[in-house]
Amino acid sequence: MESYITLSFLNDFIFCPRSIYFHQLYGSFAETVYKQSPQYKGTAAHETIDERTYSTSAHILQGMEVYSEQYNICGKIDVFDTQKGRLTERKREIKTIYDGYVFQVYAQCFALREMGYAVNEIVIHDLVHNKNYPVPVPENDPVMLAKFEQLIADIQTFDLETTPFTPLLSKCQNCIYNQLCDKSLC
């Protein structure tokens, strides 16, 4: 049986394909072993979603598990307004809209649509600055859709032992797994 891809792996794989291996390795350990301040701040920013206390309105779905059979991806959405068809991904603080952020909401969009919901609008919300960044729905951005599908193919065919890897100092310095990585430049 082929294992599914989690939503967080999309952004993580772009940052460093090897980080997914280390993330899974640490999966059974206490978070204090591998998490650092940015990860704890991100977790805290999602508390109202995870506890489903963001909204009491029945038309606001929050922290719901989703799965896309087409792309074999699963995870949780942050907020989906079923009346407006608006999918919102919340990030603690946004300095740049990375492709990985867009690909995460694309996966959520596809999963919601497969579940019968109409997703008409996508927004990434910066909690610190209380600012929304609109993201075109996948069918309205064929270049990003093609990059998304290529990323899925790359994840499915990645092999830690055989796939060529070139470390980058700027990424290795910010990787929470750099102490374990035999390719790290740190």
Confidence of residue 79 (pLDDT cuts 50, 70, 90): very high
What CATH number does the domain containing 93 carry?
Answer: 3.90.320.10
Dihedral sign, Cα of residue 26, residue 169, residue 162, residue 68 = positive
Domain range for 35: 5-172
Q: Are 64 and 79 in contact (CB under 8 A)?
A: no
pLDDT tens readout for residues 105-160: 999 999 999 999 999 999 999 999 999 999 999 999 999 999 999 999 999 998 88
Is-contact 129 144, C-beta < 8 A?
Answer: no
Mean pLDDT, rounded, for 90-118 = 96
Determine contact, residues 128/92, Cβ cutoff 8 Å.
Answer: yes
Give Rg (Cα) of the chain: 17
What is the pTM assigned to this prediction?
0.82
Q: Is residue 178 part of a domain?
A: no
pLDDT at res. 44 = 53
SS3 (DSSP) at 126: strand
The answer to whether the beta carbons of residues 119 and 130 sit under 8 Å apart is no
Is the residue at 183 inside a domain?
Answer: no
Q: How far from 26 is each of 12, 30, 42, 56, CA to CA, in Å?
A: 14, 8, 18, 35
For residue 93, name the pLDDT band (cuts at 50, 70, 90): very high
Q: Which of 56, 57, 33, 35 is nearest to 44 (CA)?
A: 35
pLDDT at 182: 74
Q: Classify residue 179: in a domain, yes or no.
A: no
Closest CA to 66 of 107, 10, 111: 111
pLDDT tens for each residue of 15-66: 888 888 877 776 655 555 555 555 545 455 556 666 666 676 889 999 999 9
pLDDT of residue 20: 81
The residue that leads in pLDDT, 153 or 171, is 153
Report yes or no on 20 lying in a domain.
Answer: yes
Distance CA 166, CA 184 (A): 9
Residue 95 forms part of a structural domain: yes
Kindly state whether residue 185 falls inside one of the protein's structural domains: no
pLDDT on residue 154: 93
Which residues are bridge partners to 67 per DSSP? 74
Structural domain includes residue 165: yes
Number of domains into which the chain is organized = 1
**Res 1 pLDDT > 50:** no
